[in-house]
Chain A
Amino acid sequence: MNESLRNIWTILKRELTGYFASPVAYVFIVIFLLLNGFFTFMLGGFFELGEASLSRPFFNWHPWLYLFLVPAAGMRLWAEERRVGTLELLLTMPVTAAQAIIGKFLACWAFLALALALTFPVVGSVYYLGHPDGGAIFAGYVGSLLLAGSYLAVTVATSAITRNQVISFILSVVICFFLILAGWEPVTSLMVRWAPAGLVELVTGFSVMPHFASFQRGVIDFRDLLFFASVIVFSLFGTSVILRGLRGA
């Protein structure tokens, strides 16, 4: 294995075992699943809709659910290192900052993926009750995972800004909230009334909503993949700039 991959793997492993060494991981997963169940079956009207699809009752809630849960899962990634001082230890090891950032990001993303995978009973129910479009469910899951990854990348960056996890959490929620609102239908329909079409398009271009919506419909489009990938890459790159900045370069 190549050296940088090995370093990423080592950091990823440490981060993941760190999650499961404390009750935080289990609490997080339980809350995530409970909320998912509550939204899907109570608020989402899974049964009332009478259609064998997860798009509306299940995936529709994810941008809002992740808005709080993803920053909660990722807020400690760098903030804790800074608070305890292990940042100094980590960055004086023979690893690059990029390897450390990617390792941490992937670890937390894998953890979120695990939580998401544990929602499989919902898929089971919909198959038991009807004949859903399997491709659409798959696309929905891919989109949901990418959505979580985008929020997470933002959280990674905000957690590098401060040694205080709460500040990191709040900043991240605010930025992710913007990523939702900029393209959320009620907001855009308000904007259309007064703003020129170009501006509306520019603002909605920042939003995760239209891109996530196409996954929800069952479409995996290259442009949507590119959007999420660029949010992730941009945020992680931003993290490396922040880390370099706080060391006084």
Chain B
Amino acid sequence: MIDVENLIKEFGPKRAVNGVSFTIRRGEILGFLGPNGAGKSTTMRMITGFFPPTSGRVRIGGHDIAEEPIAAKKLIGYLPESAPCYSDMTVNGFLRFTAELRGMRGAQIDAAVAKVAGLCFLEGVLHQSVDTLSKGYRHRTCFAQSILHDPEVLVLDEPTDGLDPNQKHEVRQIIKRMGQTKAIIFSTHILEEVEACCSRAIIIDRGTVVANGTPAELKARAETAGSVHLRVRNVAAETLKSKLGSLPVAGRVSLQDNPDGSLSARVFPRDKSTRADLSLSVAQTATQSGWSFDELHTEEGRLDDVFRAITLPDSVKNRE
């Protein structure tokens, strides 16, 4: 549904987006990650036709956004970053206005507005002026606008920004539900959100895509991914280290004292091929040696770590 091909956007001498390409099919939810200023919003503005790209092309459902903007825009629901609303209108008036621009008429508008007002919990404020709403309500009003016409493609720039935890949960549920039949791209800073809703994630840094895969694939790229964590009591550090280190499948072993007196060991696999057998070997060693342990698990890797590893400039990494 969304085809992005080698998008480039220059603002004067500065290249904000530098050759971004990806495709999103129907039924996919793409999480769009990146540090501030990486070019997320700019890319989304090009997808929705607000910014014309310097070069490259965007197709929405087969319609080129530059050549057939109206046909393409009809398929898109868009929530801009700051969730802007016309402050001199009521919520109802604002939603009806956008419904009309979306080509709806009469009873169709009533039905659509009632439906999204229910979905986004706006019933109580429908006749209140947007001016008087709190940030969360204003945000949901703009979100309601983006799903009003049940679009094929949803482009959401930080849809859960500024919401309380309950509202965040609600919005995620809506996104997940809609994602079954639509193509959705949303940007966020909250990495758990990506794990919770996305079928795929893209990390963008300084205008280029630096990672593209399922959340599980990305997590596997973390340094700690695949390592086995073992927590034992009453075992000498040297014994622990030498026994675990001598396993044929094990590589590096690092130890850590815990505040409660227990000892934690992190065993890294020797290489990729030994990953699968590692936890079993560690468990066997522990039981055979008669260690009392209360924790044993394989680390999946954390998206935070991957994100930091990929997007931190080298100078910062060296400092740490």
Interface residues of A (CB under 8 A from B): 3, 6-7, 10-11, 14, 17-18, 21-22, 84-86, 88-89, 91-96, 244, 247-249
Contacts and interface: CB of A to CB of B under 8 A. Distances in A.
B76 interface: yes
20 contacts: A6-B100, A7-B101, A14-B97, A18-B86, A21-B129, A84-B84, A84-B86, A84-B87, A88-B50, A88-B80, A92-B50, A92-B78, A93-B73, A93-B101, A93-B102, A94-B73, A94-B101, A95-B70, A247-B50, A247-B52
B182 to A, nearest CB: 17
Contact of A248 (B51, B80, B88, B100): B51
A179 to B, nearest CB: 30
A95 B101 contact: yes
B221 interface: no
B172 interface: no
A249 B88 contact: no
Interface string B100-140: 11110000000000000000000000000100000000000
A111 B82 CA distance: 30
B51 A89 contact: no
Interface string B1-43: 0000000010100000000000000000000000000000000
Contacts of B102: 93-94
Contacts of B97: 10, 14
B45 interface: yes
Contacts of A22: 88
Interface of B: 9, 11, 45, 48-52, 54, 69-70, 73-74, 76, 78, 80, 82, 84-89, 93, 97-98, 100-103, 129, 142, 145
B89 A247 contact: no
A17 B89 CA distance: 8
B181 to A, nearest CB: 21
Closest 7 CB pairs of A and B: A85-B84, A94-B73, A92-B48, A10-B100, A86-B84, A93-B101, A88-B80
B89 A91 contact: no
A85 B80 CA distance: 9
Given A89-B78, A91-B50, A92-B78, A10 B101 contact: yes
Contacts of A14: 86, 89, 93, 97
A6 B70 CA distance: 14
Given A22-B88, A88-B45, 18 more contacts: A10-B100, A11-B101, A14-B93, A21-B88, A89-B84, A92-B49, A92-B78, A92-B80, A93-B73, A93-B98, A93-B101, A94-B69, A94-B103, A95-B70, A244-B52, A247-B51, A248-B51, A249-B52
A89 B157 CA distance: 12
Contacts of B88: 18, 21-22
B103 A3 contact: yes
B70 A86 contact: no
A248 B52 contact: yes
Contacts of B129: 21
A113 B9 CA distance: 43
A22 B129 CA distance: 11
A6 B106 CA distance: 13
Contacts of A88: 45, 50, 80, 84
B103 A92 contact: no
A244 B101 CA distance: 20
A44 to B, nearest CB: 36
Nearest to B79: A89
Most chain B beta-carbon contacts within 10 A, residue among A89, A244, A248 = A89
A18 B84 CA distance: 16
Nearest to A85: B84
Given A10-B97, A247-B51, A248-B11, A92 B84 contact: no
A128 to B, nearest CB: 40
A99 B49 CA distance: 16
Nearest to B42: A248
**Residue among B76, B84, B101 having the largest count of chain A Cβ atoms under 10 Å:** B101
B101 A248 contact: no
B71 to A, nearest CB: 8
Contacts of B142: 89
A95 B71 CA distance: 10
Most chain B CB within a 10 A radius of its CB, from A14, A17, A84 = A14
A89 B80 contact: yes
Contacts of A6: 100, 103
Contacts of B100: 6, 10
A248 B14 CA distance: 12
Contacts of A89: 78, 80, 84-85, 98, 142, 145
Contacts of A92: 48-50, 73, 76, 78, 80
